[in-house]
A and B are shown apart, each in its own frame.
Chain A
Amino acid sequence: MTALRFTRPSHLGAVLAVSVLAACGGRNASMQGGGAGSDVLSLMQSRNLSEQDVNAALKTYTPTGRFDEYYTFASGGHGGNLIVIGVPSMRILKYVAVFTPEPWQGFGYGDESGDVIKGVTKGGNQLTWADMHHPAISETGGDYDGKWIFVNDKCNPRVAVVDLSDFTTKQIVGSDLIVSEHGAVFVTPETDYVIETSQYPAPLGGGYAPIEQWNDKYRGAMIFWRFDKQKGRIVPEQSFAIELPPYMQDLADCGKKVSDGWVFCNSIDTERAYGGTLEGNPPLESGATQNDMDYLHCINWRQAEALAKAGKTETIAGMRVIRLQTAIDDNLLAFVPEPKSPHGVDITPDGAEVVVGGKLDTHTTVYDIKKIVAQMAEKKYVGKDPYGVPILDFKGSIRGQCEIGLGPLHTSFDDKGFAYTSVFIETVIAKWSLKDLKVVQKIDTHYNVGHLVTAEGDTVSPDGKYLIAMNKWSLDRFAPVGPLLPQNFQLIDISGDQMQLLYDMPLPLGEPHYAQMIKADKIKPVDVYKPIGMNPVTHEVDPSATVGGKERIERKPDGVHVYMTAIRSHFSPDIVRVKEGDVVHLHVTNVEQARDATHGLAIGGQNINVSLEPGKHCNVTFVANRAGVWPFYCTEFCSALHLEMAGYLLVEPK
């Protein structure tokens, strides 16, 4: 027997040992079980599990009361809300309402947090959904600090701020400068700015121009939303934008460490095709993929910030905009060719390089930022685009390329010098060495992997350990549920030399695009709202908050004010008498401080349901426009007498 030739004796030995165990089997070899039929080998046999399956189960199973090692925040795609998942168990921990009304959290069903989503309208149209793509956790020194998470809306350009102290949405901002976006959101290493970049070109500031005037009238823009870390809010007045040519700007990433002060954004459709299949033009998809290369946008944002501060801007739709010519004149923007319908642009943990994957290429291209910055400083260009933006030499800007396989999209990193690239067309994750640009392993995904995320993989100090392949299709992976299938998140162990698939998680809450995976100990949320009466939108005790014994109903010129408390298991007051047509201002405070003692307040006939976490105060205003008897009650099962936690809104006819 030539067993000595094994290069990995221990591993193979283990496989053989388990196999032989299985073969010669037996109960003698079984672990402690719960009686006949539940020893490990019998279970494996009856459930048709391999040793590898059991190994994966042991790596993910999280017994009751144990916590996960990581949080993953996945965008909800056109579900518009943010999904929080524990890793490695892949249990959903929370569904954070952001852009889409969500009644469990009362979001959009009465209280002021719901007003957050009504803050930004488009042409006066109320928006009740969003296409959320790329979440970004706030950073300090280029590392996740776990304080806020920002998310975008591709369809109606908006950026939301979610506070991770209570996992709720605090603010939504949007600018009419652009009409769609995609390169959003990415934060600068100190979270000074949150970046939002347009996707489909249009006249800046909105308005109409015939599509034939695309080249002259249509433009893109990158918005730098100023974030005030003290207040935890975006300050639109201190924000600015840079005008860009009418290409479809795509993903972006902010420089860090040696490249701090720079932002890189890729583009597609530098052909400036705009479709028109009924008008004799090729479809957008072929028109926009015709060129072999598009342009990586290299932007010196520090210099842009200085220009904005110096007032070298023009205000369009309320946004201070550095015009394209100014950006060119001040040498803060240059292009480098990038292969073939680029998608992901990801900066290496050391900040020295940018990895770009082309959707239709077979390589990732690794750009050396030093070379880019040097060429820009020397104004060493090979040409200019039709708008005068300087173009740098492709070969002179790269360190090299790694042959990955067809359709590399996004790249994330680990702590051992490896990069992981999702490969859409080949439907695999490729692990490759940053040092020598060689693939070391590929692992199948099922199916059509889009983004991927590794633990803290886009920070200055990735953790390795886990990777989630965010697959667009699930096809045959789960029990059928009709024609609309869930996404498939596949958890992959990347702690060893070889990647190992651990778990398939169906995700039926929208279509996640990107995610952030952060060490759990960096997230320090509050248990309850303190002090009692806190308004989570303002993060201060609400002036209308009330305490036990001070409940009252007051008729004022602007309507009837009801100062109410909720405690297990009653509302006080529990009878509210108003007249038909009265404006009712309900000020309700959950005066509990016990963890998880949440109440809901639903009122019949009014489309109202608020969530009252312990200590939280909500203000709800409505018109009692229909005479009648309307029960209100607690919607969150709170105690043995939860059913009795109810009252009556009596609306007397006029």
Chain B
Amino acid sequence: MRTLLETLLCATVVACGGSRERDPQAPPPARPVTGIDVPPGSTLQQAIDAAPAGATLLLQAGEYRGPFVIEKPLHVWGPPTAVLNAVDGSTLSVKADHVTLAGFTVAGSGQRFDLMDGGVHLQGDDLTIEGVVVRDTLFGILVERCNRATVRGNTVIGTGLPAMGLRGDGIRLWETNDSEVVGNTVRDSRDVVVWYSSRNHLADNTVTGSRYGTHFMYSHDNVCEHSRYVGDEVGIFVMYSHGIVLRRNLLARSGGAAGIGIGLKESGDIAVEDSWLLDNTTGLYIDSAPLDPDHHNHYLRNVLRFCETAVAMHASAKRSEFKDNQFGDNGAVVKVGGQGDALACEFVGNWYDTYQGYDLDGDGRGDVPFEFRRLSTQIEARYPELAILHGAPAMGMVDLVGEVLPLFAPRRLMQDPAPRLRPTAMAFSPEVDRAR
């Protein structure tokens, strides 16, 4: 049964996010009506230098050899067949305000990590990069110390090197605030990074085959929504940040021993809502979050299914509300390290596929609490090496023994006083196939 479900689910996930053939998602930006034509060749830098501030440069199909630097307000448009490349340094650097880059392709860059060689390196205010394809570069799009940047509809294709450490970041927001990162596709890259960056809006992005789908660090009051993270090592990790809203995202197939759908470390006032966390090794990973006594975290209306562990806590978490979520087909609902438990968390009105209670008053809520106190999970927590037997009949027998012999009394790890008999309807479901 589970295998079948899993197969179906994976097929859905592949269709809705894992396809390699779907980018770019949006049609390329239209050619501006007027502008200065710059034919392929080595004259682009001269054209940039010669253009008056605010001018529009129109590239054409063909190759432009960089690296290039823009140090004045400017618009640069090109068709996807206009390709900027370089073999040293960052291919296109912007150090000015009010620059727009649209439509063209950046292929190739220097390969030095210590110089952060990348495809496009933005520094300035009110910059826009839209519908640009970046490939074969070390880093993709670096957005550094920008305010009000717009990063929309771009595609970054990483090197896909087997060693993640030898890949660069796909998109990197650094000390960048009040910006829009919308509708981008990143694949086979290292991370999408949001560091020291606050009040940004990330939406409708797709990150696949990468390490950290999005990594928030010391970045506050950001929203990340309607995005899909499939086949990354970690979908979203939030560290040392507060005021983050993660909603209507799909986080699936975060695999490997450290695979995590959404991870939180020492972060508070986080809302995880209406999201699908499917087939991750660990659905939610919670490490000392929230830490600040004034902070509360909320996990509302999410689907957690087909995870080895739906919710893993490094130690007993507090000030955390789990409401109206769906827990099904997981190896364990909760695992807590450090011999702790999740009893200080408020689980209310979630649906659990393993709930065996009843609803005599017909209010849709079970009349007896749901408790998760599985012996095998407990034994596995104590003997991590037994995790290899996870799901094996032997561990099933251990659980059975635990149930029939009350002397065992496995420890209660969490309790939901009002479990739902049926899952709540999801407000959001990832489109079956957006490409169609």
Contacts and interface: CB of A to CB of B under 8 A. Distances in A.
A439 B165 contact: no
B376 to A, nearest CB: 10
Contact of A476 (B168, B315, B386): B315
A19 B398 contact: yes
Interface string A9-42: 0011001100110111100000000000000000
Interface residues on B, range: 35 or more
Nearest to A1: B397
Interface string B253-284: 00001100000010000000000000000000
A383 B314 CA distance: 44
B288 A475 contact: yes
Contact of B114 (A51, A291, A477, A497): A291
B383 A292 contact: no
Contacts of B393: 1-2, 5
Contact of B113 (A11, A394, A444): A394
Given A11-B383, A292-B168, A294-B114, A6 B389 contact: yes
Residue among B114, B144, B265, B408 with most chain A CB within 10 A? B114
Contacts of B316: 476
Given A12-B394, A50-B382, A290-B174, A425 B239 contact: yes
A310 interface: no
A475 B385 CA distance: 27
Contacts of B237: 406
Contacts of B288: 447, 475
A293 B405 CA distance: 57
A256 B378 CA distance: 45
Interface in B306-355: 314-316, 337-338, 340
A477 to B, nearest CB: 8
Interface residues on A, range: 35 or more
B112 A443 contact: no
Given A19-B398, A292-B114, A401 B165 contact: yes
A3 interface: yes
Contacts of B211: 362
Nearest to A9: B394
A290 B144 contact: yes
B114 A293 contact: yes
A270 B113 CA distance: 13
Contact of B382 (A52, A285, A406): A52
B196 interface: yes
B245 interface: no
Contacts of B401: 19-20, 23
A458 interface: no
A368 to B, nearest CB: 15
Given A5-B394, A25-B407, A286-B196, A446 B114 contact: no
B138 to A, nearest CB: 9
Given A23-B401, A23-B405, A292-B168, A15 B383 contact: yes
Interface string A361-385: 1110100000000000000001100
B218 interface: yes
A441 interface: yes
Contacts of A559: none
Nearest to A50: B382
Contacts of A475: 288, 315
Nearest to B404: A23
A600 interface: no
A51 B398 CA distance: 15
A319 B68 CA distance: 47
B1 interface: no
A441 B384 contact: yes
A401 B163 contact: yes
A206 interface: no
B116 interface: yes
A25 B408 CA distance: 10
Interface in B344-397: 379, 382-386, 388-389, 392-394, 397
B398 A401 contact: no
Contacts of B218: 285-286
Interface string B222-252: 0000000000000001010000000000000
Contacts of B164: 362-363, 403
A50 B288 CA distance: 25
Interface of A: 1-3, 5-8, 11-12, 15-16, 19-20, 22-25, 50-52, 270, 282, 285-286, 289-295, 337, 339, 360-363, 365, 382-383, 391, 394-395, 400-401, 403, 405-406, 425-427, 439, 441-444, 446-447, 475-477, 497-498
8 contacts: A2-B392, A7-B388, A12-B389, A292-B113, A361-B165, A426-B287, A446-B338, A497-B385
